[in-house]
Amino acid sequence: MLNDFDFLLDYRATDTEAEIFWDLPLDADPDCEYLVVNNSADETIKTKKTHASLSGLTPESQIDISVYIVYPDKRADHKNNPVLLGQFSLQTAKTKKKIDITAAPYNAVGDGKTNNTDAIQAALTDCDKDSFIYIPAGTFLTGALNVHSDTEIYLEEEALLQGTENPEDYLPKIWSRFEGHEMECYRSLLNLGELDHDADYNCKNVVIRGKGSIMGGGAALAKAIARTEGERLRDYIASLGDKIKEYEKPETIACRFRGRLINMSNCQNIWIHGLTLGYGPAWNLHFIYSDNIVTDHCTIKSEGIWNGDGWDPDSSTNSTIYACDFYTEDDSVAIKSGKNPEGNVINRPTKHIRVFDCITNFGHGLCIGSEMSGGVEDVRLWDCEMGPTWSGIEIKATKKRGGYVKNILVRDITASHIQMHSVGYNDDGEGSKVPPLLSDCHFERMHLLGRFLDNNAGKNEWHDCPSILLCGFDVPGYEINNVSFKDIEMEAPAEGIDSIHTEYCKDITFENMKTVPRK
């Protein structure tokens, strides 16, 4: 697995600023440093992170960039420093024309009371590749908005794009995917692209950035949608009888119609940068059948929101999130690829996902699944703080899900615990003929607490648990297999709890495992 590694070195740029990011090299350790050299200006940035920011650049210019790694002197295997990781030519954009949503003919009002949906949508419709939407300071109330290709949105400091709490402001419904099923959902606050699992990308090259905030209608909107849909589906839900037990909760069906904060379907090359985002009625940043979605230097919030995930790749590829802070009620990052049987048939895996330099302040951490019937592969996670979380790092599936999870690489992380296991909830749908395959995962240089934080519904309770839990499927050939742990610190377990618990596993290896006092 570790030898099958395509090194990522990439950037995103505006007219005067750029963000550069790259993979953690396979032989790097936390003592390594990096040099980002602007050869065109003879300037060097030194950093311990695997990303760097450039500012004060000249519009429409080409800048030659080299990135080096510097190994610590104690590394006997590396005497020749620095070592080139890669180089490229960075191209800045041209300066665009400003479309101020408060100016004529749009005249949006940032008083927190006026519904500006029509005004802001008109500005978005008028935006082309040579202009950008400018949202100044103020609270701009709006319903669902559509964003087309080649759009740039900039939110000034203290600018707030605030979603309404009225479900009618998010109609008509659009095709989306929620908890693994393609279905008609209420529109999200920002809607990019149109869902079609057989089609190419239909929304490209969008930038959403700035110093402001985008906030959804939150729990009030979620509950209003659930009430409306619950009444509409009352007879159907009653007809399910005992089969309702296959769903997570009795209200799960009605709640699946909620929109998100930002919904991206069949999108490519979307950059979300520098913003505070949150309080969608369900998940916040959700992208389906999409490619090259980059999110960085954002804060994502969803306290009090059921299913309040932060960043959800869903049958999507080549996407990266870094330098973000999460305050989410549910998963900070949730990686998905559909649900049985639909996800098995569509068969669109999520792959080549990077998550690094992120902090999860509470919530559920990073999860793969449970909707993973289309497969998940090549997920790389490093340099993150996920200590105070419910799930830590979790790979989960139900027995009838089918699909696979493989080639997962996790390094230099603090987490509550690691879980790879079967779960019994969210289990509706016709089952696959075979269980999922969970395999080929490597965990290295981690500190595990052996306890998790339950902050649901405002609680703040710690519970003891194994630092490592591996529980596969009781079908020969579908055990968890080929999983390795190296240089792992586990805090001393609570009385009566094992630090490592395994069932239905094979080819599990442990190297340099340490027990350390609880902090």
Residue after which a domain boundary falls, among 92, 116, 149 = 92
The partner residues of 393 in beta bridges, in order of sequence, read 366, 418
Q: Give me the pLDDT at residue 246, please.
A: 66
Does residue 116 register a pLDDT over 70?
A: yes
Task: Indicate if the alpha-carbon torsion angle 29, 420, 297, 6 is positive or negative.
Answer: positive
Q: Does a structural domain hold residue 22?
A: yes
3-state secondary structure string, 114-162? EECHHHHHHHHHHCCCCEEEEECCEEEEECCEEECCCCEEEECCCEEEE
Helix (H, G, I), strand (E, B) or coil at 329: coil
Summarize pLDDT for 69-88 with one digit per residue, the tens: 999 987 777 767 899 999 99
191: in domain: no
The pLDDT assigned to 90 comes to 97
Q: What is the pLDDT of residues 435-470, one digit of tens each?
A: 999 999 999 999 999 999 998 767 789 999 999 999
Work out the number of other CB atoms within 10 angstroms of the CB of residue 480.
26
46-84 in b/e burial notation, b at 16+ Cβ within 10 A? eeebbbbbbeebeeeeebebbbbbebeeeeeebeeebee
Examine residue 416 and state whether it is found in any structural domain, yes or no.
yes
Residue 316 lies in a domain: no
For residue 83, the SS3 value is strand
Domain assignment present for residue 219? The answer is: no
What local confidence, expressed as pLDDT, does residue 1 receive? 44
Whether residue 276 is contained in a domain is answered as no
Provide mean pLDDT across the span 402-426: 96
pLDDT (mean) for 12-33: 96
What φ, ψ does residue 278 adopt, rounded to 5°?
A: 160, 180
191: nearest Cα among 142, 254, 132: 142
Write out the H or E segment, with its range, that includes residue 225: helix 218-232
Number of Cβ atoms within 10 Å of the Cβ of 431: 15
**Distance set, CA 463 to CA 32, 256, 452, 466, 470 (Å):** 35, 30, 5, 10, 18
pLDDT in tens, 121-135: 999 999 999 999 999
Please name the residues in contact with 223: beta carbons below 8 A apart, sequence gap of 6 or more: none
pLDDT band per the 50, 70, 90 thresholds, residue 61? very high
Structure tokens at 386: 């996920």
In the structure, what pLDDT confidence band is assigned to residue 503 with cuts at 50, 70 and 90? very high
CATH code, 33 = 2.60.40.10
pLDDT at residue 336, as a whole number: 98
**Residue 454 carries which side chain, given as an amino acid letter?**
D
Contact in structure between 281 and 217 (CB atoms under 8 Å): yes
* CB-based contact 358:324 (threshold 8 Å): yes
The range of the structural domain enclosing residue 58 comes to 9-92
Q: What is the pLDDT of residues 281-328, one digit of tens each?
A: 999 999 999 999 999 999 999 999 989 999 999 999 999 999 999 999
Least confident of 149-153, 160-164, 184-188, 427-431: 427-431
Q: Is residue 150 part of a domain?
A: no
The closest of 82, 231, 242, 214 to 155, measured between CA atoms, is: 214
Look at the chain and report how many structural domains it folds into: 2
Q: Are strands 18-22 and 291-296 parallel, antiparallel or unpaired?
A: unpaired
Q: Which two tokens stand for residue 190?
A: 């920002």
**Is 116 domain-assigned?**
no
Q: How many residues can be counted in the chain?
A: 519
246: three-class secondary structure by DSSP:
helix
| Mean pLDDT, rounded, for 199-205 | 98
Q: Is 244 left (phi over 0), alpha (psi -120 to 50) or beta?
A: alpha
Q: Which residues of 175-212 are buried (b: 16+ CB within 10 A; e: fewer)?
A: ebbbbbbbeebbbbbbbbbebebeeebbbbebbbbbeb
pTM (predicted TM-score): 0.96
pLDDT for residue 80: 72
First to last CA, the chain: 34
List phi, psi (to 5°) of 117.
-55, -50
Q: 452 forms bridges with which residues in the sheet?
A: 463
- pLDDT value, residue 429: 82
Give tens-digit pLDDT for 44-56. Answer: 999 999 999 999 9
Instruction: Report CA-CA distances (Å) from 519 to 43, 363, 418, 453, 490.
Output: 41, 20, 18, 15, 11
Query: Which of 44, 73, 92 is the C-terminal boundary of a domain?
Result: 92
Residue 378: how many other CB atoms lie within 10 Å = 20
Residue 391 has pLDDT above 60, yes or no: yes
Lowest mean pLDDT across 89-98, 221-230, 350-359, 440-449: 221-230
Q: What is the pLDDT of residue 77?
A: 75
Task: Return the pLDDT at 157.
Answer: 98
Tens of pLDDT along 210-256? 999 999 999 999 999 989 987 887 777 777 777 766 666 767 777 88
Spatial separation of the C-alpha atoms in residues 467 and 398, rounded to whole Å: 22
Residues of the chain with pLDDT > 90: what percent? Answer: 86
Among 62, 92, 122, give the residue marking a domain's end: 92
Radius of gyration of the chain (CA): 23
- For residue 493, whether the previous peptide bond is cis, meaning omega lies within 30 degrees of 0, is no
